Structures are given as C-alpha cells and as structure tokens.
Amino acid sequence: MALHTLLMSGGYTGGSFVCESCMPPVSIRPTQPSVAPLLGAIRNVLVVDDSKLQRKLLTVSLKRWGFDVAEADCGEAALRMAAVCRPDLVLSDWMMPGMSGLELCRKFRAMQGDDYSYFILLTSKSDKAEVARGLDSGADDFLSKPVDNNELRARISAGGRLIEMQRKMAEANRALSETLGELQQLYDHIDSDLKEAKKLQQSLVRERFRALPVGNLSLLLRSSGHVGGDLVGFFEAGARHVGLYALDVSGHGISSALMTARLAGYLSSAAPDQNVALCKDAEGNFVPRPPYEVVADLNNLVLDEMETEHYFTLLLAFVELETGQMVLSQAGHPHPAVQRADGRIEMIGTGGFPVGLMSDVSFEQFDLTLKPGDRILILSDGVTECPGPDDSMLDEDGLIALMQDLSATRGPAFLEALIWRLTEFNGSEDFPDDVSAILFEYQGLDAT
C-alpha cells in the first residue's frame, strides 16, 4: 500500500514505513491536537487523589495546557506541600482514605495567606446538601467524575478570572494600607505638633490667677480642639491700673491660633513698650490709652498689615485699682456680666463692631464702677452660645441663672463650676466652640 494511501485511510497509528521506491526508513509520529495554553493567574496546580491513575490522567492534561503540576496521594501530604509552595489551584478528590477532600479544604483555608487559591472538589456527589457542605468548607467549585477535559478547562479559566480579580484587589488593598499607614504617620506628626501648639497657646495665659491689692483676678482658656481662636489676658498699666482683654478670632484651628499668638504680642504684659494699649506720660511712665483708640488702631493694623481673612471680637478694659472705676471698649464681643454684692446681675456694654472686618469703623467706650463685693465676668460666645441637647443655646438668660446659682462660689472654683454647668447643659465635655473667661472680683482697698 502506498504511503500516502495509508495516511489518507486514517489507519496509521505510528511506526516506521518504507516507500515504494525503497527509500530509507522515515520515522513519523502522530501529531497531538493544538491546545492553547491557559497560563494566567493560575500557574501552579496541586492534584490530590489517592488513585495514581486519576492523578496521572489529570496531570497529563494540565501539563499539556502549560501548568506546573504537583501531585499528592493524601490530604496530609497536600498540606505539607502547600506549606512549602502555595498552589494557585487545588484539584482534590472528595472521597479519600484518612483526610477527606472536605477536611483538606477546611485546613487549607485555615492556612490561607495573602494570596487566594482556587479549590475545586472532584466528586460523584450531586446532592444539593452535599454541595452545600462543600461550599461551607471553603470549596470554590465542583467537578463530576469522570472529569471532562473541556469542562475542566472552563472551570480553570473561571477560577483564573476570580484569582486575577482577587489579586488586583489585594494589591489595591496593600497600596491602600500603605497609604493609610503613611497618612497615620503624618497624622501622628501633626497631632504631636498640635499638642505642642496647644501647650504654647496655653502658655500665652501665663497666670490663671492673680491676687491684686484690691481683689482677685481669675482666667479660663479652654479650646474646643487642640488649639483655638480665643485668648484672655491682663497686664499692668502703670501703678494705678490693670488692663484686661478677651478676644475671639473667627474660625477654629491652626490659623486662628496663630493670629491669637500674634495679637497677644500687641497686648503684651512682658513688654509694655510693645503693648499698643499703653503709652508714656510726661514723666515717662506707662499709662493706659483710651480703649476705643486702641481698638481702632488694631482694626487698622489687621486690615493694613495682616494678610488674613480672619477678624476677631474684642473686649478691652482698664480698671483703676483704688476706685474700682472701669473704662471698656466692646468690639463685637459678648456683653460682660456684672454681679453686684447683693446678687443682682447686669449685662452691660454697647455691642460694637468686630475688629478687622471693615475699615473706617467707629469704636466706642463706656464706663463702669465696681463697688466692694462686686465682680465682673468677661466671657466668649462659646459660653452663651453653648448648645443643649435640643440645640437651644444657653444664652444670656441661662448665664444669669448660672451665675445666681454660683453666687457664693469664688475665684478659679467659679470658673471650674462654670465648665461643669456647661458640660451638664451640653451633655458632653466636647464643646463646639472655644470657651474663655475673665473673672475680676473687686474688694476695694479694704481687702488688704
């Protein structure tokens, strides 16, 4: 029979032949069908089966498709191999002596690392309850035995897509975790800086209590965050006067705190020659300037020299120690509360316009006389505008009632009690705004 006839007949199964013209022998091997490789997210496959024949049948096909294949004849061996080199895909028989495929799947999942592995159970079971057991054990898919190669290829392709998505997600999560870690470090640095900034801002109020010859002076500064825009202070204004100031910069946070620090320099108690509220008399002694002039100068200074969008409210006052006479200028700050010796409370002031908001604004000043036993409370709007649980504010009426309840409480204890009452009213220690106050309790010269 001619060679081409034999080939065309389809009866050839391999071997050696001699052509009709007695050519030398030619060795011809049967051609394997062309199979596209499946390599992608799945490259390493672990086949687990107690049957050597079943493992061989699967391994031949898998290697032909381009996979690196390892074999295990039991679950224990499979776990040992997976611990050394984690496979991308596990093909495991369900029914095996010793450790079953279900138990292997559970233990394999328990040792799951960062990368996900696809697990296919090979079984003749088709009952829905059995399939549910397999899924509960961590299996991703099932194949009925005997395994059809076309179906196996399709299931591996589906598993590869899932693993690819999982790995992309894991990579995104790793990148996100790294970013979050960097952000946490940055936050920790910022938080540390803010804590230091809080210490520095609190240090601007060098004295929280001063016993004067004619009475006691108590101060409170509590920021709603690490730092805030409130500031209170006092300074000596010559031998006969003491200056008091309370200011509240618009906004919250670092920029507001920086502005308070700068403003504190203009009302310095340590450097009277740099204090804009003081001037020298004919004898060279520092004396108070009219408060409304000081506020007007600060308004021009903020508008002309400070490149900022912030403005602030201010109450500036001078107390003549011997007489209890006070002269005050109120620029948008809450009205001071005067509690007389007999317990009566008066809300005083002219209101006024905030500082640094508009040019060509006129500021006023007014007078007040304190008698022995009287006291004046200068506070920020963080007190009167403190919200209750129903969002209603404490307001001036609430402040008056609070002061009447605390009429017998003096000095720093009064300010501490004020914070406790605000906490009760607000329902929380976290106030939405900064809280600051000055309490001056006048006793007159007889106090000494």
Between 411-426 and 395-405, two packed helices, what is the crossing angle to 10 degrees?
A: 130
Beta-carbon contacts of 139 under 8 Å, excluding residues fewer than 6 positions away, are 102, 105, 119, 120, 121
What is the per-residue pLDDT for 203?
Answer: 74
Rounded Cα gap, residues 45 and 426, in angstroms: 64
- List Cα–Cα distances, 306 to 55, 98, 300, 310, in angstroms: 82, 82, 10, 9
What is the per-residue pLDDT for 5?
Answer: 40
What is the per-residue pLDDT for 441?
Answer: 97
Rounded Cα gap, residues 283 and 11, in angstroms: 131
E-assigned strand segments in 13-75: 15-17, 26-28, 44-48, 68-72
**Stated pTM of the model:** 0.64
Our CA dihedral for 300, 303, 308, 313, rounded to 10 degrees, sits at 50
What three-state secondary structure class fits 22? Answer: coil
Domains observed in the chain: 1-31 (no CATH), 44-171 (3.40.50.2300), 205-447 (3.60.40.10)
What is the per-residue pLDDT for 3?
Answer: 36
Cα 424 versus chain centre, distance: 27
- Per-residue pLDDT reduced to its tens digit, 2-28: 434 433 444 333 333 333 334 344 333
Residue type, 191: D
Query: How do the pLDDT tens digits run along the chain, 448 residues long?
Result: 443 443 344 433 333 333 333 434 433 334 344 444 556 789 999 999 999 999 999 999 999 999 999 999 999 999 999 999 999 999 999 999 999 999 999 999 888 677 789 999 998 766 677 777 878 888 899 888 888 999 999 999 999 898 888 888 888 888 998 899 888 888 888 777 777 777 777 777 788 999 999 999 999 999 887 778 899 999 999 999 999 999 999 987 788 888 898 899 999 888 999 999 999 999 999 999 999 999 999 999 999 988 888 999 999 999 999 999 999 999 999 999 999 999 999 999 988 999 999 998 999 999 999 999 999 999 999 999 999 988 899 999 999 999 999 999 999 999 999 999 999 999 998 899 999 999 999 998 764 4
Cβ neighbours around 70 below 10 Å, total: 18
CB 356 within 8 A of CB 311: yes
Q: Choose among 413, 438, 409, 435: nearest CA to 422.
A: 435
* Rg (alpha carbons) of the chain, rounded to whole number: 43
Percent helix / strand / coil, the chain, rounded to 5: 40, 25, 40
Q: Choose among 39, 121, 41: nearest CA to 88.
A: 41
What is the per-residue pLDDT for 223?
Answer: 87
What strands lie across the sheet with 230-236, from one edge to the other?
230-236, 241-249, 312-320, 325-331, 366-369
CB 220 within 8 A of CB 415: yes
User: What count of residues does the chain have?
Assistant: 448
Both structure tokens of 53? 């024949």
